[in-house]
Amino acid sequence: MERENLHQPFEISFSELDGSLLKVHDHTFFELVYILSGTGIQWINNSKFAYHDGHLFMITPGDSHSFEIHTMTKFINIKFNDIYIHSAVFGADNIQRLEFILQHANHQPGCILRNKTDKLLVKPMIEAIIRGYLNRGLYSKEIITQLINMIIIVVARNIALFLPERLDERSEERSLDILQYIQTNIYRSDKIKAKAISQHFGISSNYLGRYFKKHTNETMQQYILDYKLKMVENRLLHSEMRINEIVTELGFTDESHLNKLFKKYRGCSPSEFRKRGSVQS
């Protein structure tokens, strides 16, 4: 697998591809990929997502990813590294928090923008970046930099939706390792049982539960369930997966089990949620 490096704090590139497969690769930097037009499949860490125009993807260092292109697709790629985050005008108090959030993205496929408001916010910023990049007028570079900063902040806000509220850059390293382990093994129900997690980290099941709640302000079971339900929402809104396929992928007992949980925590059935989402989009 190829590995890409970035030799400057940030870089913008455009590409237009038709009916091909971008090679699987990873890199040592962050990358935002915005779909200007076209359809296909995003592959990341052996999972897939059907993309179309308006989707924004966040690729973190070490993620293995590629794109399977079905119709002519125009991409804009914004690459940046830790040096850029520290050099940008985010403010000293915000840099550590921002860096923490970006590093703990969930490494899953799908559009990073979780709500319609942020999608509407990002689109004109992307268009302004393109105009500034192509025209190269006075202060174009400074304007582009500010726009990229704004997009990064919007992305961080959306990533934070998947993090427990109490978790921050001061949390103990082991609690972060446990979260990362859960996210990595979210498709393996046997791997995210308390017994399996406690064995993996060499701590007792009783202590694990208390430790997790102390550092995240919620039980581990609550976190896993909410994480899965957010993944269900993402698939209902942004993919054509059937509900029984989602059930199998995410390890729910059956459709009735998912329906019951979804109604309890989201107030409607998965089918109703998908219908409402299609009306709003």
The amino acid present at 260, given as its one-letter code, is K
pLDDT tens across 221-258, in order?
998 998 899 888 878 887 788 999 999 989 999 999 99
Residue 233, Cβ density class (10 Å: 0-12 exposed, 13-18 middle, ≥19 buried): middle
Count of beta carbons in the 10 Å neighbourhood of residue 133: 16
Contact criterion met (CB below 8 Å) for 63 and 107: yes
Nearest partner of 14 among 74, 57, 81, judged by Cα:
74
Distance (Å, whole) CA 263 – CA 57: 29
Q: At 8, list the tokens.
A: 């400057």
Q: What is the pTM of this model?
A: 0.63
End-to-end CA distance of the chain: 37
In sequence order, what are the beta bridge partners of 4?
27
Which residue in 169, 181, 170 sits closest to 208, CA to CA? 181
The boundaries of every CATH 2.60.120.10 domain in the chain are 2-162
Q: Where are the beta strands (DSSP E) in the chain?
A: 2-4, 10-17, 25-27, 30-37, 40-44, 47-51, 56-59, 65-69, 73-80
pLDDT single digits (tens) 134-173: 887 788 888 888 999 899 889 888 887 766 655 555 555 6
74: helix, strand or coil: strand
DSSP bridge partners of 58:
32
CATH number of this structure's domain 173-280, picked from the four choices 1.10.10.60, 3.40.50.970, 3.40.50.2000, 1.10.3720.10:
1.10.10.60
Residue 220 above 60 pLDDT?
A: yes
CB 183 within 8 A of CB 192: no
Does 83 score more than 80 pLDDT?
no
Higher pLDDT, 268 or 166: 268
Radius of gyration of the chain (CA): 20
**How distant, in Å, are the alpha carbons of 43, 54, 65, 71 from that of 68?**
8, 17, 10, 10
Q: Are 270 and 236 in contact (CB under 8 A)?
A: yes
Q: Which CATH architecture has domain 2-162?
A: Sandwich (2.60)
- Lookup result for tokens 């209902």: 236
Q: Tell me the pLDDT of the chain averaged across its residues.
A: 83
Backbone angles phi, psi at 28, to 5 degrees: -100, 10
Q: 147 to each of 55, 132, 151, how far by Cα in Å?
A: 17, 10, 6
- Beta pairing class for 73-80 and 65-69: unpaired
> CB-side exposure of 273: number of CA atoms within 13 Å?
21
Q: Which residue has the higher pLDDT, 89 or 184?
A: 184
Rounded to whole angstroms, the Cα distance separating 191 from 193 reads 6
In the chain, CATH 1.10.10.60 sits at 173-280
